[in-house]
Amino acid sequence: MTGQDSPPQNDGFEAAIDSLEQQLSTLWRRARANSHRVAREVHPDMEPAAYGLLTVLQREESMRLTDLAANIGVGKPSVSRQVAMLEQLGLVQKQTDPSDGRAQSITLTELGMRKLESAQAARKSAFIARLDDWPVADLNALAGLLDRLNRSYRNESPPATGHS
């Protein structure tokens, strides 16, 4: 990368990036542990990565596999494996897409919706327990900054799969 491609940096910027990297690493480790716990609340055999798929299906109600993969920024083969596992667990179902009989739409089952809502309620309670002494302005500021960070990743391609 040339000097023209990167923003001007100073010692304060570098230190801030180092601190951000350290804090995000800690947060991601804790989030992974929490994801395992939440996934087990939905179903003991569910993989943590599948929780995100369920929440997208909850929000969108029904999606094709390719749209689901694009929505979460993961390759189609990975999402296909997750959906097959969720289908075996009775949490999602595939139906013929009414707009294209050759395609299938994926939706939550009633069991999937109930289990997901229960896990979400437990997750919200955990957030409340950790953050109940935070001012609302701080919570909103953190949410806004995380949204901004997440938006900066939106145009990133999913990781390549397979071996070189």
Q: Is residue 164 part of a domain?
A: no
Helices 76-88 + 65-72 axis angle, to 10: 110
Residues of the chain with pLDDT under 70: 1-9, 155-164
Residue 143 lies in a domain: no
Structural domains counted in the chain: 1
In-domain check, residue 2:
no
Assigned domain for 109 exists: yes
Range(s) of the domain holding residue 68: 31-131
**CATH code of 39's domain:** 1.10.10.10
pTM: predicted TM-score of the whole model, two decimal places: 0.68
Q: What pLDDT sits at residue 2?
A: 44
* pLDDT tens for each residue of 49-84: 888 899 999 999 899 998 898 888 888 898 999 999
CB 53, CB 99: distance < 8 Å: no
